[in-house]
Amino acid sequence: MTNDEVINKLVALQDGNGDTYEAIRMAIKALVQSQWTPCSEKLPSDGGNYLITVADLRLGHIGEHTVTMADFYVKEKKWNSAVDVYAWMPLPEPWKGTDDE
């Protein structure tokens, strides 16, 4: 099952009932945020930092990909990366830690 299929099933289950609704809303958000979007399909609508997939240019890694972070500039519709960006996704929420930390 793909993330899209799971998202569609969770959306169909939403019934507005308190904790169940909130848990489903959080699951949908997490699944949507964890998906790579190919640049050939869509670019971000907001400027800022994103995780990106780029060509791995280290010797011996030609044709492979790596993940890094870059800024996207909406007005210019471009990344601040010196290499081609193949796909992007929003940054995950920061770790909240515990009361002990």
CA dist., res. 90 & res. 6, Å (int):
19
Q: Over the chain (101 residues), what is each successive 10-residue block's mean pLDDT?
A: 73 65 75 84 93 80 81 93 88 78 60
Q: Indicate whether 23 and 66 sit together in one domain.
A: no
Q: Indicate whether 86 and 42 sit together in one domain.
A: yes
Q: Indicate whether 30 and 48 sit together in one domain.
A: no
Q: Are 36 and 53 in contact (CB under 8 A)?
A: yes
Structural domain span for residue 81: 37-92
pTM of the model: 0.63
Q: Indicate whether 44 and 58 sit together in one domain.
A: yes
CA dist., res. 46 & res. 40, Å (int):
17
In a domain, 22, yes or no: yes
CA dist., res. 67 & res. 51, Å (int):
7
Q: Indicate whether 65 and 23 sit together in one domain.
A: no
Q: How many domains does the chain have?
A: 2
pLDDT value at position 52? 93
In a domain, 74, yes or no: yes
